[in-house]
Amino acid sequence: MTDASSSPTPPGPDTHSQPPAGGAPRLRVLAAMSGGVDSAVAAARAVEAGHEVTGVHLALSANPQSFRTGARGCCTIEDSRDARRAADVIGIPFYVWDLAERFREDVVEDFVAEYEAGRTPNPCLRCNEKIKFAALLDKALALGFDAVCTGHYATIVTREDGTRELHRASDAAKDQSYVLGVLDERQLAHALFPLGDTLTSKDEIRAEAEQRGLAVAKKPDSHDICFIADGDTQGFLAGRLGTAEGDIVDEDGLKLGTHEGAYGFTIGQRKGLRIGHPAADGKPRYVLDISPVDNTVTVGPADSLDVTGLTAVKPRWCGAAPSGPGTYTAQLRAHGGETEVGAEPTDDGQGLSVRFTEPVRGVAPGQAIVLYEGTRVIGSATIATTERARSEALPRP
């Protein structure tokens, strides 16, 4: 395994590859190998497709032991070793690239800052935007590679004019297009997702890995947040932001209890509120608002969570930006369903205005909204404010 601080020079011809079928161009591909089964099979399929493939594992922590291991990680020493062994079996060059400082700045610090501001970020989506398809892709292109290959379940469709579209995976149950909705046209032009267009179950992917002799065939999937070693998000945030007692109040401002930091709550949360006063109607209460300015958490009934519209910022379009209003479906979380919306860019092009056909719940500032037209991903934006059926818009700083 190459030293983590080194970078590969463009390797010579890969004798393990066969010319691509159907006259497709033979690409020089950098396969991002996390140490899991999906990225290993994706790399193997890229080789089988006739491309010249080099494997790379991203070292994302200055202290890899602080990251999750086994079933819960993707960036540990254990994972880098699994990736190296997979590359050896596939028969491709393999390197480790140190992107720990970039990951700390763009993903971990962003995660902490967003919670401190009362928002709910998605670090996996930010990692795709800032690390895998920015820092990694830029470095790959500078070294003469044509594309970055990952084990994501999504599909890229090339139109007759040569432009590329991002679509859902053929198997909707495994689709990961939501966390790729931050990719722009340039990034899509240099992306490969070999797993996205096959209707194969995860068991079949594991069986394929076993047939290829890949030891990761039985390795459990990664889950949750890789840089929180013990899975305790609230404890992780408390260690960086400290504790600060604040009030838990109802919609009328009546104090119901206290907390040790507003960052420990998310919109729509029900459990762990530690409210000493039962609701007058005996029904559960949920987090409605988080105010970092006065460190106050507001709770109320479920129907107060109904959101009828929102504004979002920092739109990223997977192709040309819409020129006006349109009807789409929207996904609001990585494993959520779709809901019909009307949406249009703001006049300055820096935002997005969205109206829901039917009210939705569990919508929090900081989350990403991803727009679809059929299976095609139109783009994404970060939720800034929400409009409630029972209240004014709830802004965030």
- Catalytic site positions: 127, 226
Q: In the structure, how many helices (H) and strands (E) does the chain have?
A: 9, 17
Cα distance between the two ends of the chain: 45
Q: What single DSSP character describes residue 293?
A: T
Among 198, 168, 216, CA closest to 57: 216
Q: Where are the alpha helices (DSSP H) in the chain?
A: 37-48, 77-90, 100-103, 109-116, 123-127, 136-142, 185-188, 202-211, 233-241
Tokens read off for 258: 């206290």
131 within 8 A of 167, measured Cβ to Cβ? no
CA triplet 187, 363, 173: central angle to 5 degrees?
Answer: 55
Distances (CA, A) of 109 to 106, 250, 387, 391: 6, 31, 28, 32
Burial 60-93 (b: 16+ CB within 10 A, else e): bbeebeebbbeebbbbbebbbebbbbbbebbebe
Distances (CA, A) of 117 to 66, 114, 261, 313, 365: 25, 5, 11, 15, 10
Q: What's the CA gap between 270 and 388, in Å, rounded?
A: 18
Q: What's the CA gap between 47 and 93, in Å, rounded?
A: 12
194 within 8 A of 46, measured Cβ to Cβ? yes
283 within 8 A of 388, measured Cβ to Cβ? no
Q: Which uninterrupted H or E stretch holds 165?
A: strand 164-168
Residue by residue, DSSP assigns 3-45 as -TT--PPPP---TT--PPGGGPPPPEEEEE--SSHHHHHHHHH
Q: Which residues pair with 373 in a beta bridge?
A: 376
